[in-house]
């Protein structure tokens, strides 16, 4: 970025500085520690200079925002044109409870919806299944049928608001419920905007909410790509997620590498199905974590865009520039929240949200300070949303595009993360690709190793967590409790029972039979799932059919 | 030489968050204990069966989904029913303060929340193992 003559001068000046100014300083005041590292244990040097970005072309590495390789952002004007979508992940109890929470958030300025489902829903069980015991609504909303979906979005204009749904193994079923709900309200599918997470690969690697083995699961995912491209063109049928990989213990570099490796695996499966890459790639979306280490996080987002653009254009031959764009959602790091002095989590979340915004995210969820204890209370959620609003309207960071672009440190970090990702791509390839690597427990072991190392650093006080291993106070934290009501549970059970009793049982049975045949064959499952949902088949019933045909996954045990 | 303390680390219910359970399993192993990790999605019955089969001194349960009240006490109850009530049970995860005394009353000997030093957990299981005569 600097010309050759300048670089020589910089080098000379640096050498002199090291021998004089720096040397004197170190003598008078030695540095606090021998090695400084990021949250991901990446070694950080004392100073970054033009030498660290020497020989790298601005146009090739960065380019202008809205242009290849999109390092500086996917839009030419970024937040000057439109702020990121403030999208708070929420759900607890029944569809009624969560519908109220959605309305509360919209009233307070939230600009997109994001649904958290409870554990039974995530595993394709109805509220009344024996496996669901004790899990109703505790960490998300229970949705067992299209009727629950209708209540969940009651009096919310789904033609206007975009909705993200964190659902993976049963994603196509839950999506079908959303589509059937819209259909009933006469909202054309072409108007619907939103995302289903539908990222099964990271479930095997990190989040562990899987049902079926990898191959049939991938088939279901590609079914949604194909169906979505034709029928619901503004919908993102997948959100390729690093978030959970990171939460499970991965470093920033591993999060970046594994997520993009997964992303490329989906592209390969889409192409193998016979889809044209430019027909589905523009609707692939991403989801990254925003952890504590400000610069490393910002660098991660920038590296992700650059790698994705290059791979899509050069490896997969995508011609449509929209296929090259890595559009992403971000969420602050739940794993960083402390149970000790929980108010401090507001500060952590602010730093993390700042990283996501400086990293150029398209939408953002901010965690609430009480989440080391429970699903957040109303006030805690409002503070979290306000944090985003302060960043957007008071901090000034949204005034210019990629304000940190050109920082020697940030650019060097961006390059380093990119190189690390490519080293991992090679290792995954050596293992035979993403799915064989999952079977061998490669990702799982890498993540567990990083999680353990991080914990040992805290244990040994090499890493200070304020309020946890230093600056400790002895006090009882104040958290406003949020309990799922017994009445919600009973109402949900009652609704399910009534629906099972009153639906057309012949139609229901026929729809499930047809779905079973489709699962057994090669037809796209989406239209059949939709028919089953319309016939009031429940989530559990549909997933049972799939469990029967596809079998269930058993993961390699390791720690 | 004393026999190794045997601990079962288990994930009851549907919760898939296994970071904590795995870190604990490894820390106990590194502290010289014999650790059996059940993997995910275990019912209380599965856990009790495994504990008896493996002849463990203690069980560590991990749950972050909020279903701990339905699952942790059930494990203690079933152990007692199987005359294995001397197996010490501890739990950890995302557990509201209000639930801690209730869990203890139900026979969960210790509840470890986020931020608990690993050394506390190791010490707890060492004591539990010694008390049981391992």
- Domain residue spans of chain A: 4-58, 62-71+80-394+404-459, 499-550
Q: A62-71+80-394+404-459 belongs to which CATH class?
A: alpha beta
CB of A239 closer than 8 Å to CB of A229: no
pLDDT digits (tens, 9 = 90+) for A364-394: 999 999 999 888 988 999 999 999 999 999 9
Reduce the secondary structure of A124-149 to three states and give it as a string: CCCCCCHHHCCCCCCCCECCCCHHHH
Interface probe with A: pick from B115, B120, B121, most Cβ of A within 10 Å = B115
In sequence order, which residues have a C-beta less than 8 Å from that of residue A28 and are 6 or more positions away? none
- The alpha-carbon gap from A208 to the nearest alpha carbon of chain B, in Å, equals 5
DSSP class of residue A118? Answer: P
Q: Of the candidates B13, B19, B40, which has its C-beta nearest A134's C-beta?
A: B13
Task: Say how many CB pairs under 8 Å bridge A and B.
Answer: 108
**Which domains are delineated in chain B?**
6-131 (3.40.50.280)
Q: What is the mean pLDDT of residues B23-35?
A: 97
The closest alpha carbon to A334, from A376, A367, A378, A370, belongs to A367
Enumerate the residues of chain A whose CB falls inside 8 A of the CB of residue B115. 338-340, 372, 465, 467-468
B132 vs B54 pLDDT, higher one: B54
Mean pLDDT, residues A324-353 taken together: 97
Q: What span, in angstroms and rounded, lies between the C-alpha atoms of A434 and A425? A: 9
Indicate if the pLDDT at residue A259 is higher than 60.
yes
Rounded to an integer, what distance in angstroms lies between the CA atom of residue A537 and that of residue A512?
A: 8
Question: Is B73's Cβ below 8 Å from some Cβ in A?
Answer: no
Q: A78-120, pLDDT tens digit by residue? A: 999 999 999 999 999 999 999 999 999 999 999 999 999 999 9
Interface contact A135-B67, CB threshold 8 A: yes
Whether B2 shows a pLDDT value over 90: the answer reads no
Note the pLDDT of residue A375.
87
Q: With an 8 Å Cβ cutoff, are B26 and A448 in contact?
A: yes
pLDDT at B134: 62
- Residue A4, pLDDT > 90, answer no
pLDDT at A453: 96
Instruction: Give the integer Cα–Cα distance in Å for A251 and A443.
Output: 12
**Burial level of A466, CB count in 10 A (0-12/13-18/19+)?**
middle
Q: Is B33 on the interface with A (CB under 8 A)?
A: no
Question: What's the pLDDT tens digit per position in A395-409?
Answer: 999 999 999 999 999
**Pair of tokens at residue A359:** 């990293």
Interface contact B66, partner A, CB < 8 A: yes
pLDDT higher than 80, residue A424: yes
What does the radius of gyration of chain B's CA atoms come to, in whole angstroms? 13
Give tens-digit pLDDT for B74-118: 999 999 999 999 999 999 999 988 999 999 999 999 999 999 999
CA atoms of A366 and A385, how far apart (whole Å): 7
Q: Which of B15, B82, B21, B17 is nearest to B50 (CA)?
A: B82
How far apart are the C-alpha atoms of A247 and A252, rounded to whole Å? 10
**Percent of chain A with pLDDT strictly greater than 70:** 99
Q: Pick the residue from chain B with its C-alpha nearest to A468.
A: B115
DSSP, res B34: E
In angstroms, rounded to a whole number, what is the distance separating the alpha carbons of residues A286 and A303?
13
A448·B65 Cβ contact <8 A: no
Pick the residue from chain B with its C-alpha nearest to A140: B65
- Give me the pLDDT at residue A2, please: 56
Q: A125: which 2 tokens?
A: 């069980």
pLDDT value of residue A484: 86
Q: Which of residues 395-454 of A touch B (CB under 8 A)?
A: 448, 451-452
For residue B132, the model assigns a pLDDT of 78
Contact between A138 and B19 using a beta-carbon 8 Å cutoff: no
Task: Choose, out of B11, B18, B28, B72, the residue to mutate when testing the contact with A (most A CBs < 10 Å).
Answer: B18
How far B20 CA sits from the closest chain A CA (Å)?
9
> Confidence class of residue B131 from pLDDT cuts 50, 70 and 90?
confident
Retrieve residue A275's tokens.
């889809």
A266 — pLDDT class (breaks 50, 70, 90): very high
Q: Is the peptide bond before A120 cis (omega within 30 degrees of 0)?
A: no
- How close, in Å, is residue B24 to chain A by CA atoms? 9
Q: Do B66 and A374 touch (CB under 8 A)?
A: yes
Residue showing tokens 């989801």: A287
- From chain B residues 101-120, the ones with a CB under 8 A of any chain A CB are 113-115, 117-119
The C-alpha of B39 sits at a distance from chain A's nearest C-alpha, in angstroms, of 6
Q: Within 10 Å of residue A227's Cβ, how many Cβ atoms?
A: 22
Average pLDDT along chain B = 94
pTM, two decimal places? 0.95
Mutation target to probe the B interface, by most B beta carbons within 10 A, among A206, A452, A481, A554 is A452
The confidence score (pLDDT) of residue A520 equals 97
The pLDDT score that the predictor gives to residue A480 is 79
d(CA A171, CA A199): 9
Contact present, B40 and B25 (Cβ < 8 Å)? no
Q: Which residues contact A317 (CB under 8 A, 6 or more apart)?
A: A277
The string of DSSP letters for A5-33 reads HHHHHHHHHHHHHIIIIIHHHHHHS--S-
């Amino acid at each position: 970025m600097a010309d050759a003559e300048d670089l020589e001068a910089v080098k000379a000046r640096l050498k002199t500085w090291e021998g004089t100014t720096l040397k004197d300083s170190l003598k008078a005041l030695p540095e606090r520690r021998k090695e400084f590292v990021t949250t991901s244990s990446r070694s950080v040097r004392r100073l970054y200079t033009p030498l660290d970005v020497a020989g790298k072309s601005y146009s090739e590495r960065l380019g202008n925002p809205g242009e290849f390789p999109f390092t500086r952002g996917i839009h030419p004007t970024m937040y000057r044109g439109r702020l990121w979508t403030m999208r708070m992940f929420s759900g607890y109890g029944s569809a009624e409870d969560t519908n109220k929470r959605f309305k509360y958030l919209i009233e307070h300025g939230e600009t997109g919806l994001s649904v958290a489902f409870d554990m039974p829903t995530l595993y394709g069980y109805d509220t009344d299944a024996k496996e669901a015991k004790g899990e109703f609504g505790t960490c998300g909303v229970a949705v067992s049928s299209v009727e629950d979906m209708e209540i969940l979005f009651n009096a919310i204009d789904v033609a206007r608001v975009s909705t993200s749904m964190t659902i993976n193994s049963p994603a196509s079923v839950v999506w079908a419920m959303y589509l059937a709900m819209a259909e009933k309200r006469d909202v054309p599918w072409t108007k619907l905007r939103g995302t289903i997470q539908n990222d099964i690969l990271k479930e095997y690697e990190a989040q562990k909410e899987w049902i079926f083995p990898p191959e049939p699961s991938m088939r279901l995912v590609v079914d949604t790509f194909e169906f979505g491209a034709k029928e619901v063109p503004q919908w993102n049928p997948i959100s390729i997620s690093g978030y959970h990989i990171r939460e499970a213990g991965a470093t920033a570099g591993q999060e970046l590498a594994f997520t993009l490796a997964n992303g490329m695996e989906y592209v390969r499966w889409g192409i193998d199905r016979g889809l044209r890459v430019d027909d589905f790639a523009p609707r692939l979306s991403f989801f990254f974590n925003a952890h504590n280490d400000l610069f490393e996080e910002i660098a991660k987002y920038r590296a992700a865009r650059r790698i994705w653009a290059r791979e899509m254009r050069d490896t997969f031959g995508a011609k449509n520039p929209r296929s090259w764009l890595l559009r992403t959602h971000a969420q602050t790091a739940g794993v960083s929240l402390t149970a000790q002095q929980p108010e401090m989590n507001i500060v952590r979340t602010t730093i993390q949200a700042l990283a996501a915004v400086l990293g150029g995210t398209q939408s953002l969820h901010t965690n609430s300070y009480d989440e080391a204890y429970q699903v957040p209370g109303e006030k805690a959620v409002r503070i979290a949303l306000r944090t985003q609003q302060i960043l957007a309207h008071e901090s000034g960071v949204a005034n210019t595009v990629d304000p940190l672009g050109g920082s020697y440190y940030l650019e060097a970090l961006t390059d380093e993360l990119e190189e690390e990702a490519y080293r991992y791509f090679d290792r995954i390839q050596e293992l035979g690709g993403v799915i064989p690597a999952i079977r061998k427990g490669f990702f799982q072991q890498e993540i567990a190793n990083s999680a353990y190392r991080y914990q040992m650093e805290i244990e040994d006080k090499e890493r200070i967590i304020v309020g946890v291993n230093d600056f400790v106070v002895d006090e009882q934290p104040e958290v406003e409790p949020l309990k799922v009501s017994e009445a919600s549970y009973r109402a949900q059970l009652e609704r399910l029972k009534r629906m099972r009793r009153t639906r057309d049982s012949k139609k229901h049975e026929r729809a499930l039979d047809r779905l079973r045949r489709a699962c057994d064959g090669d037809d796209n499952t989406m239209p059949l799932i939709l028919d089953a949902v319309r016939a009031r088949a429940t989530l559990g019933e549909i997933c049972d059919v799939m469990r029967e045909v596809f079998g269930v996954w058993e993961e390699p045990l390791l720690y | 030489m004393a026999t190794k303390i045997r601990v079962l680390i288990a994930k009851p219910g549907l919760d898939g968050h296994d970071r904590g359970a795995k870190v604990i399993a490894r820390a106990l192993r590194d502290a010289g204990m014999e650790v059996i990790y059940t993997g995910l999605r275990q019912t209380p019955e599965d856990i009790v069966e495994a504990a008896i089969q493996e002849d463990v001194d203690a069980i560590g349960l991990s749950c972050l989904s909020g279903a701990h009240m339905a699952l942790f006490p059930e494990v203690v109850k079933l152990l007692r029913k199987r005359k294995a009530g001397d197996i010490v049970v501890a739990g950890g995860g995302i557990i509201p303060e209000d639930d801690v005394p209730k869990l203890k009353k139900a026979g969960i000997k210790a509840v470890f929340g986020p931020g608990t030093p690993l050394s506390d957990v190791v010490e707890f299981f060492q004591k539990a193992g010694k008390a049981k005569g391992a």
